Amino acid sequence: MYCRFFKGIVDRILALVFTLFFIPFFIIVGGLIYFMIGRPIFFKQIRPGRAEELFTIYKFRTMSDQRDEDGELLEDEMRLKGIGKTIRSFSLDELPQLLNILKGDMSFIGPRPLLVEYLTLYNSRQKRRHEVKPGITGWAQVNGRNAISWEKKFDLDVWYVDNCSFMLDAKIFWMTLLKLIKRSDISSKSHVTMEKFKGNG
């Protein structure tokens, strides 16, 4: 009952409250990006949501547009530095997703919305992560985030789908706050964020 009906109402009420509260942070972070990284301030990308419906996700931009001599973008490690790296380390880049919650595209808690190109790579079990709205944080994020394998991440996502409840969401919320304070599991062991998913072998 909670996940089907009440969760969306709670999400939008909290998103409105948090958006109003974080307005100063929006201004400060947006100004830092504008003057130290440049325009655009926001990163926008199409992602799959519930039932694989596509929507535009919003984040603060944290990477520069540095390119090599052939005009190709440099690796993420080369473009994520300075103020962008600091914003990412405190997860402030996620703040604009409050707008996604207000629009009804996302929830506070749920599997993270991944790249559209992954849709054809999931097996039937992994596809179940799209039975609920994607979230800003989720069960996989508080149990390893980018420091665990894709297979483990998907197992945790599906477990959440099967066990969604108000108490579980509350637990994930508080565990997320602890992760933010510790700033842990931001990157994988071999990449600045997370290596791309390449399928199930």
Of 70, 60, 61, 64, nearest in space to 98 by CA: 60
Burial class (CB in 10 A: 0-12, 13-18, 19+), 5: exposed
* Alpha-carbon gap, residue 55 to 110, rounded angstroms: 16
Handedness of CA 111, 114, 117, 118 (dihedral sign): negative
**Other C-beta atoms within 10 Å of 29: how many?**
22
**HSE of 110 in the Cβ direction (CA atoms, 13 Å)?**
25
CA dihedral 164, 132, 61, 86 (to 10 degrees): 10
* Alpha-carbon gap, residue 75 to 144, rounded angstroms: 24
* pLDDT by residue, tens only, the chain of 201 residues: 788 889 999 999 999 999 999 999 999 999 999 988 888 999 999 999 999 999 999 999 888 776 766 666 666 666 777 788 888 888 889 999 999 999 999 999 999 999 999 999 999 999 999 999 999 999 999 998 777 889 999 999 999 999 999 999 999 999 998 888 776 655 544 455 668 888 776
Of 27, 28, 58, 64, nearest in space to 43 by CA: 58
**HSE of 52 in the Cβ direction (CA atoms, 13 Å)?**
9
**Other C-beta atoms within 10 Å of 49: how many?**
20
